[in-house]
């Protein structure tokens, strides 16, 4: 069993549990990002944590550098998405393009019979192939980030933490004496780290200044580029108090790319932010599409409660959905992930 050891407590407990179950476990640490002049990325610290865990568990630890693959297959697509006015999700891209392709293949080349990670998800293997299922801990469920992975890449994969809650995982780590049992969970994206997102994007995307209008068309400010803002955004708009305006926050409700105008309003539930209908393309089915019509569930962001919806049309790789409750800030470039009860059916990039 080759376990992806990230240096965090989740993957450490996954390795511990599998060793307790009698597997011959090896760890594999993946380097995805090496360009870190300012010291924001924690990869070096993560590797030392993974080494300490491997030493405590008395298992071999391999290290592999996928930074070139990550740059081409995740980061370049991430930048291209923002430049085109979308809001891409690099975590889904990383799982699809790196963790369950070159990472899994490298583990199998090392001689693995099975590959495991510390994701909070469950997977069922039967004669028809693997089925991706939601984790028991709905607050930690990570199927949203796994929903773009090709079904064949889940073959020979296990998720040991799928039946556990985060507090249970912490308790196991402490009882087992794992050296990172108290380490904080990582947040954000490695290549950004603890810095302002706009400052990071500004290193790669050229400013394209334009005006900010309210929803009546009045100019009330300026922006440095639509790529630096996202639908539903509240902070960082630099709009001061305005005569006649409410003493309430402003929200980005639309981006007019033809005029390079950012549209804002003082209504968190503004009609431009709310929709019952979402179109996705391309839609990736982990299993075959369900028989229509049928009621399903979906989420358009991680940790959102499952939302009742139905498929209104399947046109090639485009799938259109209708939601019972209006959805807020369905952002182009993000993903809609579809469920039928516990089973994750797949995902599609939101286009409209």
Please give the DSSP secondary-structure letter assigned to residue 332: B
Largest CA distance in the chain: 70
Catalytic (active site) residue 190: yes
Please write down the HEC assignment for all residues of 333-351.
CEEEEEEECCEEEEEEEEC
Model pLDDT, residue 195? 64
Distance between CA atoms of residues 92 and 99, nearest Å: 10
User: Which CATH superfamily groups domain 2-176?
Assistant: HUPs (3.40.50.620)
Q: Where are the beta strands (DSSP E) in 92-173?
A: 115-116, 122-126, 129-133, 157-158
**The tokens of 68 are what?**
């070139």
Model pLDDT, residue 187? 62
Model pLDDT, residue 26? 98
Q: Which residues, in sequence order, are bridge partners of residue 65?
A: 31
**The tokens of 42 are what?**
């924690």
Distance between CA atoms of residues 284 and 115, nearest Å: 23
Backbone φ and ψ of 153, nearest 5°: -85, -5
Model pLDDT, residue 157? 96
Model pLDDT, residue 288? 83
Model pLDDT, residue 113? 96
Helix (H, G, I), strand (E, B) or coil at 63: strand
Model pLDDT, residue 200? 81
Backbone φ and ψ of 155, nearest 5°: -65, 140
Catalytic (active site) residue 41: no
Q: Is the dihedral of CA 342, 344, 349, 352 positive or negative?
A: negative
- Global confidence as pTM: 0.92
Distance between CA atoms of residues 101 and 149, nearest Å: 9
Model pLDDT, residue 331? 93
Q: Which of 190, 309, 318, 344 is catalytic?
A: 190
The CA-based angle 96-232-202, given to 5 degrees, is 65
- Identify whether the C-beta of residue 183 lies closer than 8 Å to the C-beta of residue 49: yes
Considering the domain 273-350 in this protein, what is its CATH number?
2.40.30.10
Model pLDDT, residue 289? 84
List per-block mean pLDDT (blocks of 10 residues) for the chain, which spans 352 residues.
95 98 97 68 85 97 92 91 88 91 92 96 94 95 96 96 97 96 76 70 90 94 92 87 76 95 95 97 90 89 96 94 97 96 96 94
User: What fold does the segment set 206-268 form as a domain?
Assistant: SH3 type barrels. (2.30.30)
Model pLDDT, residue 201? 86
Residue with tokens 């080759």: 2
- Identify whether the C-beta of residue 172 lies closer than 8 Å to the C-beta of residue 197: no
Q: Which of 41, 94, 309, 344 is catalytic?
A: 94
Domain range summary for the chain, segments of one domain joined by +:
2-176, 206-268, 273-350
Q: How many helices (H) and strands (E) does the chain have?
A: 9, 17
């Amino acid at each position: 069993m080759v376990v992806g050891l990230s240096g965090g407590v989740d993957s450490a407990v996954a390795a511990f549990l599998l060793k307790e179950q009698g597997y011959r476990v090896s760890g594999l640490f993946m380097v995805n990002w090496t360009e870190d002049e300012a010291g924001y990325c924690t990869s070096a610290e993560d590797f030392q944590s993974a080494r300490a865990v491997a030493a405590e568990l008395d298992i071999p630890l391999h290290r592999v550098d996928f930074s070139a693959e990550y740059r081409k297959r995740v980061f370049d697509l991430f930048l291209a998405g923002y430049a085109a006015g979308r809001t891409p999700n690099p975590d889904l891209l990383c799982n699809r393009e790196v963790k369950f392709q070159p990472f899994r293949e490298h583990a199998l080349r090392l001689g693995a019979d099975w590959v495991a990670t510390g994701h909070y998800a469950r997977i069922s293997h039967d004669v028809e192939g693997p089925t991706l299922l939601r984790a028991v801990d709905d607050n930690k469920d990570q199927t949203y980030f796994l929903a773009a992975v090709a079904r064949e890449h889940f073959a020979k994969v296990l998720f040991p933490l799928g039946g556990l809650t985060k507090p249970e995982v912490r308790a196991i780590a402490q009882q087992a004496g794992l050296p990172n049992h108290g380490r904080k969970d990582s947040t954000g994206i490695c290549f950004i780290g603890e810095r302002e997102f706009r400052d990071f994007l500004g290193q790669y995307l050229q400013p394209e200044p334009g005006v900010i209008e309210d929803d009546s068309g009045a100019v009330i400010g300026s922006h440095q580029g639509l790529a630096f803002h996202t639908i539903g955004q509240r902070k960082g708009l630099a709009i001061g108090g305005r005569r006649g305006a409410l003493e309430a926050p402003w929200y980005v409700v639309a981006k007019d790319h033809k005029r390079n105008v950012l549209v804002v309003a003082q209504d968190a539930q503004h009609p431009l932010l709310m929709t019952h209908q979402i179109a996705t393309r391309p839609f990736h089915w982990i299993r075959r599409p369900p028989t229509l019509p049928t009621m399903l569930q979906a989420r358009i962001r991680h940790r959102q409660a499952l939302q009742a919806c139905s498929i209104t049309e399947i046109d090639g790789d485009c799938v259109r959905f209708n939601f019972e409750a209006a959805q807020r800030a369905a952002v182009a470039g993000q993903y809609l992930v579809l469920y039928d009860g516990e089973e994750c059916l797949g995902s599609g990039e939101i286009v409209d």
